[in-house]
Amino acid sequence: MISGIEALARIEIEYPQLSEEIQEDEGLLHIQIGTFSHLVQNFIDDNDAQAFEGACNLFVELFQEAAPELENALNVSFLEHLNFVDGKKVRSWAYKAMPTSMKKAWDEMDEYNNRIHGHH
């Protein structure tokens, strides 16, 4: 099982530019995972398929072995924050590019939210 602390260490190794921000929010796992989410959203908005793929691979690695608190944070503070809606920027490509297991996790999160909040 991967704990929140272990996951953050992995994220910092892959993305040292997030290190300072992650350290500042020590103990606040949701905010720290949110920091990773913002970075990945930038990859989507910048149409950076290669960087996005790397981030997806890291997500899958963490998610499939995640301890409950980490799984919760990855759902609520990572997946839920990703925006795949085309607007000024084209983003729908990234949804299609997600690995199957990540897409499944996103779909389940989205469906769950729709049930709870009744959005369509």
pLDDT one digit per residue (tens) for the chain, 120 residues: 999 999 999 999 999 999 999 999 999 999 999 999 999 999 999 999 999 999 999 999 999 999 999 999 999 999 999 999 999 999 999 999 999 999 999 999 999 999 988 755
Give ∠ CA 65-97-81 in degrees, rounded to 5: 65
Predicted confidence at residue 120, as pLDDT, reads 52
Cβ(15)–Cβ(39) below 8 Å: yes
Backbone angles phi, psi at 66, to 5 degrees: -70, 135
The SS3 of residue 2 is strand
Predicted confidence at residue 119, as pLDDT, reads 56
User: What's the rounded Cα separation, in Å, for the pair 48 and 46?
Assistant: 5
User: What's the rounded Cα separation, in Å, for the pair 113 and 93?
Assistant: 22
| Phi/psi-derived region of residue 27, left when phi > 0, alpha when psi is between -120 and 50, beta in every other case | left
Predicted confidence at residue 117, as pLDDT, reads 85
What are the boundaries of each domain within the chain? 4-117
Predicted confidence at residue 118, as pLDDT, reads 74
HSE, side-chain direction, 13 A CA sphere, residue 7: 33
Q: What's the whole-model pTM score? A: 0.94
* Beta bridge partners of residue 2, listed in sequence order: 66
